[in-house]
């Protein structure tokens, strides 16, 4: 009897092992191409618990790298990408690296209508929608109010009274912010690339003259956080989410929307043209739009989810940071990034290289 029982248990064990092996062999891989902090371990674990037949593989990137990776493969190698809303229209028209979304598979009713409509307008080509919003936020200035309470403009980062105490990231955001601070509207200039080049030249002159005023150009959020918390830098161009994270450690460090308007971005979900796991991609989109997951995600990113009541779903410390940063007038004054026409990023890239290589006077 004992021997027979042992035989049955062994057979059962082998059967279970075989089933587990078969499930592993049949497991689908969802390859995410996304921003750092947009796929926290806790969220991945919960997703894989709900969908044990899906393994999540993450590659952290940024807008420029996402485009470059997908261009190089014709839209292959990844199943879900998260470019910003202004980086899709021209890129799709020129390179065809995304596929249209099937909105019937996305729980769009939970998405904030204004953000949803805005992204649809920006990413609709020939009647087909290529992206939906995920997280949104702004770029502006982070300030230690105990040391520089009067800073309120992009241009203040170049004020000689703060020499050696300010910072910025040498990316296109500072070009756009500086243009607004100079009384120009760079988005309107997109319509005439010759005019936009003239504007970029003026901005380059301003930022080259500003180089000696800076403590450093920051490279990443952790880099900037260390500079601010140590007091080496008292004001910097930054994402609001970075400032929100630091507010909990030092409430004197706040995000300041520039007087000309904070630059607003929306990071989206888009499916690469040769993605191989569309069903898994839609499952991920719907999963991370759930209220409890939204709060976990915002705790990681510091940004606001593009769902209805997204600000109310922020962790408590982030709610306080948002309240300290924005008035209703600031929200009304947001400048959403415009679609980038073909050729503009190359022009901006050359301008940034010119600034980087130049010696200030």
Instruction: Let me know whether 110 and 27 are in one domain.
Output: yes
CATH of the domain at 153: 3.40.190.10
Instruction: Let me know whether 213 and 347 are in one domain.
Output: yes
Q: Whole-prediction pTM value?
A: 0.81
- Contact between 298 and 306 (Cβ < 8 Å): no
Assess if residue 285 is contained within a domain.
yes
Expressed as residue numbers, the domain containing 245 is 137-264+327-357
Q: What is the pLDDT of residue 360?
A: 60
Helix (H, G, I), strand (E, B) or coil at 178: helix
Assess if residue 321 is contained within a domain.
no
Instruction: Let me know whether 71 and 117 are in one domain.
Output: yes
Helix (H, G, I), strand (E, B) or coil at 267: strand
Assess if residue 313 is contained within a domain.
no
Q: Determine the Cα–Cα distance for residues 302 and 240; give it in Å rounded to an integer.
A: 8
List all residues 6 or more positions away from 128 whose beta carbon is below 8 Å from its beta carbon: 100, 101
Instruction: Let me know whether 240 and 333 are in one domain.
Output: yes
Q: Determine the Cα–Cα distance for residues 311 and 304; give it in Å rounded to an integer.
A: 6
Instruction: Let me know whether 46 and 163 are in one domain.
Output: no
Q: What is the pLDDT of residue 342?
A: 86
Query: Tokens representing 185?
Result: 């509207």
Q: Determine the Cα–Cα distance for residues 189 and 313; give it in Å rounded to an integer.
A: 37
- The single residue listed with the structure tokens 């949104």 is 136
Helix (H, G, I), strand (E, B) or coil at 59: strand
Per DSSP bridges, beta strands 128-129 and 124-125 are antiparallel
Number of domains the chain contains: 2
Instruction: Let me know whether 141 and 129 are in one domain.
Output: no
What are the pLDDT tens digits along the chain (361 aa)?
333 333 333 444 445 444 445 444 568 999 999 999 999 999 999 999 999 999 999 999 999 999 999 999 999 999 999 999 999 999 999 999 999 999 999 999 999 999 999 999 999 999 999 999 999 999 999 999 999 999 999 999 999 999 999 999 999 999 999 999 999 999 999 999 999 999 999 999 999 999 999 999 998 888 999 999 999 999 999 999 999 989 989 999 999 999 999 999 999 999 999 999 999 999 999 999 999 999 999 999 989 999 999 999 999 989 999 999 999 999 999 999 999 998 998 999 999 999 999 976 5
The residues that bridge with 335 in the sheet, in sequence order, are 263
Q: Determine the Cα–Cα distance for residues 354 and 142; give it in Å rounded to an integer.
A: 25
Assess if residue 312 is contained within a domain.
no
Instruction: Let me know whether 144 and 293 are in one domain.
Output: no
Q: Determine the Cα–Cα distance for residues 281 and 279; give it in Å rounded to an integer.
A: 5
């Amino acid at each position: 009897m004992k021997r027979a029982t042992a035989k049955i248990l062994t057979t059962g064990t082998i059967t279970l092992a075989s089933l587990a092996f078969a499930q592993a062999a049949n497991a689908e891989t969802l390859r995410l191409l996304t921003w750092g902090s947009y796929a926290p371990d806790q969220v991945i674990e919960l997703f894989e618990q709900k969908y044990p037949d899906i393994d999540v593989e993450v590659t952290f990137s940024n807008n420029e790298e996402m485009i470059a990776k997908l261009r190089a493969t014709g839209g292959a190698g990844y199943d879900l990408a998260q470019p910003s809303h202004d980086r899709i229209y021209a890129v799709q028209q020129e390179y065809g690296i995304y596929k249209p979304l099937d909105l019937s598979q996305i729980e769009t009713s939970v998405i904030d209508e204004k953000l949803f409509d805005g992204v649809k307008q920006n990413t609709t080509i020939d009647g087909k929608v290529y992206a939906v919003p995920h997280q949104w936020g702004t770029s502006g200035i982070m300030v230690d109010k105990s040391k520089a309470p009067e800073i309120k403009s992009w241009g203040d980062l170049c004020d000689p009274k703060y020499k050696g105490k300010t910072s910025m990231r040498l990316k296109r955001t500072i070009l756009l912010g500086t243009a607004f601070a100079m009384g120009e509207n760079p988005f309107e200039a997109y319509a005439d690339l010759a005019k936009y080049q003239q504007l970029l030249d003026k901005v380059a002159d301003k930022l080259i003259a500003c180089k000696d005023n800076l403590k450093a150009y920051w490279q990443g959020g952790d880099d900037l956080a260390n500079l601010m918390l140590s007091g080496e830098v008292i004001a910097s161009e930054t994402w609001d989410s970075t400032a929100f994270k630091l507010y909990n450690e030092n409430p004197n460090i706040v995000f300041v929307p520039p007087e000309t308007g904070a630059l607003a971005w929306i990071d989206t979900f888009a499916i690469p043209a040769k993605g191989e796991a569309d069903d898994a991609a839609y499952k991920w989109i719907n999963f991370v739009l759930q209220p409890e997951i939204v709060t976990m995600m915002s705790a990681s990113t510091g940004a606001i989810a593009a769902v209805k009541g997204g600000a109310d779903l922020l962790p408590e410390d982030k709610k306080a940071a948002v309240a300290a940063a924005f008035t209703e007038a600031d929200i009304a004054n947001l400048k959403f990034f415009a679609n980038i026409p073909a050729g503009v990023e190359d022009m901006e890239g050359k301008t940034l290289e010119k600034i980087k290589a130049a010696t200030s006077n």
